[in-house]
Amino acid sequence: SSRGKERKSRKSIFGNNPGRLSPGESAALAKASGKGPLDVMRQTWEDPCSPYNSPASLSAIIRTPKCYHISSLNENAAKRLCRRYSQKLIQHTTCQLLRTYPAATRIDSSNPHPLIFWLHGVQLVALNYQTDDLPLQLNAAMFEANGGCGYVLKPPVLWDKNCSMYQKFCPLERDFDNKEPAIYSLTIVSGQNVCPSNSTGSPCIEIDVLGMPLDSCHFRTKPIHRNTLNPMWNEQFLFRIHFEDLVFLRFAVVENNSSAVTAQRIIPLKALKRGYRHVQLHNLHNETLEISSLFINSRRMEESPSGNTLPASLLFSLGERKAAVTYKVTVHGIPGPEPFTVFNVSAGTTAAQLLHQLLATIKGTESCAADYFLMEEKSFISKEKSECRKPPFQRVIGPEEGLVQLLNSWFPEEGYVGRIIFKTREENLNERNVFQEAKEEAAISSEDDSFFVQVHDVSPEQPRTVIKAPRFSTAQDVIQQTLCKAKYSYSILSNPNPSDYVLLEEVTKEPTNKKSSTSKPSQRILSDQECVFQAQSKWKGAGKFILKLKEQVQAARDDKRKGISFTSELKKLTKSSKQYRGFMSPSLQVLSDSPQSKDERAACGLTFSDIVE
């Protein structure tokens, strides 16, 4: 038939001959020009000055000239459009709806990967809900972040003309010149009941970064042999992200022997909160596992642009949206009942602005704002507890220094933790003077900076230990090093807090009299802030330090007091019983005539039977 010949003469919808137009328009254009509908469409698509369509649009190809028209394409056709007309497809979806659906060849009801269509602005991606596979889990994660309302706003680069990368973004590109990516750090610390159906498996964690091809990557942890209840990995992974708005993290618990996935979870990168978090795991049907979770630590590091490169996060987002994002800053040392206060700041907030905001909350500090400042403190964390603690590094934060940049410059992976402290000029001056005096005293006292001290009765497994400590170490510092050295003893594990212990000094002085060969040792308890080196240097005989619990010292004191009181009471009772029987010594008879003895007899006027009872 003529209709069949016309259908055969048409080219593919992806070429320059897309076929018929919408009803009404093709006939009118054909009558006006005297050409057939195919020639009219070819002319309008190829002519850059055509009022019907622009050369950068796919409306003619997809046959939707009106903004209220919606087109449906199967996945194969949509993938070809993504590969051939990537930027034109993104521009088409800014003003018209587009829908894709699984191809008819998927007889097993499997699903296509929806992320490639989302990256090109396709609004509706139909999936087979009867199959619980990765695309369906990804679709659930896409609409889970906003409460499952069914709508998610597309990234600004796909629709907003104010974005610097608008109409320049191609998701399938493998090279982004002059664009510095963001660096993310992800640490898989541990897991809790990661394989509910198999308690003797050897689990490992697979991490998939799902985004555009340039950002996608895959990681895998080492397997933990026969431990699914509380496996410990402590493995860190670093990856770079250019386009952060459409990136997903997939955590999959894989049994190492059978390679079977026992639990999984997909989270949008934008929804993942920074810091230490528990990630609730789901089963393969995307149902929540109440007792299964992963303990992770995630962190975003600031880009470090060099030369003509710019951060990719600025190019793919709006400046207004970037400024509207709020960050939380914790400030320590503010006067009040709380040890710290949390403030909300923006990306451009400086130290001077935060200081004015902080002083506005404190009464009586408006007139003397110049007397206050913010200080950065970095406390170093030793990997081994037996190492000597380093003094923290402190510096004054400049008034024009950005706080968000300061927070992003801290790297806990390098072995320190940073914080911001509110200080006054007077406090800073006093601290400097005290530190300088302590430093001078330590320098004058000895040329060497350390000494050896022996601590006895540390634990039943370790009766004594020798540690090397700085000469200005206090009793609490020595106790802390002693506990760190004996950390595997059962008695130390039951009481690991250094503030529960004291150092008992026992010194045996040399006998002054040559006839007496033995001398009684003297004991005293060192205060928490007393210098151990100075106490040890004052010994004039044999001495030692003994580690004691505060409870034991208090109990010994109570027992001593009870023993003294019991002895005095026993003497009184013995004395009264002798008086009752009449067996009194002459010296006691003389003393009994005194008024004091009469009072004592009156106070102790008990019968002998009462005393025996």
As a whole number of angstroms, the distance between CA 357 and CA 350 comes to 11
Distance between the two ends of the chain, CA-based, in angstroms?
Answer: 130
Assigned CATH for 334-445: 3.10.20.90
Q: Give pLDDT, residue 358.
A: 84
Give the dihedral sign, CA 212/213/215/218.
positive
Q: What is the pLDDT of residues 486-535, one digit of tens each?
A: 766 666 666 677 788 888 888 887 666 655 556 678 888 888 888 888 88
Tokens of 321: 């949206």
pLDDT of residue 444 exceeding 60, the answer is no
Q: pTM for the full model? A: 0.56
Number of neighbouring beta carbons within 10 Å of residue 338: 9
Between CA 390 and CA 415 the distance in angstroms is 11
* Closest alpha carbon to 472 in 433, 503, 446, 498: 446
450-554 has the same fold as 334-445:
yes
Q: Evaluate the CA torsion angle 187, 192, 198, 200 in order and state its sign.
A: positive
Q: How much helix, strand and coil, in percent to the nearest 5, is found in the chain? A: 30, 25, 40
pLDDT higher than threshold 60 for residue 41: no
* Per-residue pLDDT tens over the stretch 46-71: 343 333 344 444 555 566 567 788 88
Residue 500 burial (CB count, 10 A):
12
CATH number for the region 450-554 comes to 3.10.20.90
Q: Which amino acid is at 134?
A: L
Enumerate the domain spans of the chain.
2-158, 179-301, 334-445, 450-554
Q: How far is CA 461 from the centre of its chain?
A: 37
What share of the chain has pLDDT > 90, as a percent? 24
How large is the average pLDDT for residues 110-131?
Answer: 94
Query: Tens digit of pLDDT for each residue in 299-339?
Result: 887 665 555 566 777 777 765 555 556 778 888 888 877 88
- Evaluate whether the domain defined by 179-301 bears CATH number 2.60.40.150: yes
Superfamily classification of domain 2-158: Phosphatidylinositol (PI) phosphodiesterase (3.20.20.190)
Tell me the CB-side half-sphere exposure of residue 500, using CA atoms within 13 A: 11
User: Does residue 278 have a pLDDT over 90?
Assistant: yes
pLDDT tens digits, one per residue of 524-573: 888 888 888 888 888 877 888 888 888 887 777 777 666 666 667 667 66
Whose tokens are 């003529």? That residue is 2
Confidence of residue 28 (pLDDT cuts 50, 70, 90): very low
Comparing CA positions, the residue from 502, 503, 520 lying closest to residue 511 is 520
For residues 353-366, average pLDDT? 77
Let me know how many helices (H) and strands (E) the chain has, helices first: 20, 23
Q: How far apart are CA 136 and CA 115, in angstroms?
A: 11
Beta strand 416-424 pairing with 464-470: unpaired
Where does residue 103 fall: left (phi above 0), alpha (psi -120 to 50 degrees), or beta otherwise?
A: beta
- Alpha-carbon distance of 450 to 448, in angstroms, equals 6
239 three-state secondary structure: strand
From residue 348, how far is each of 312, 352, 354, 377 by CA, in Å? 18, 11, 11, 21
Question: What are the residues whose beta carbons fall under 8 Å from the beta carbon of 338, sequence distance 6 or more?
Answer: none
CA distance 121 to 100: 11
C-alpha dist (Å) from residue 75 to 143, 156, 567: 21, 25, 98
Separation between Cα atoms, residue 553 and residue 527, nearest integer Å? 13
pLDDT band at 362 (very low <50, low <70, confident <90, very high): confident
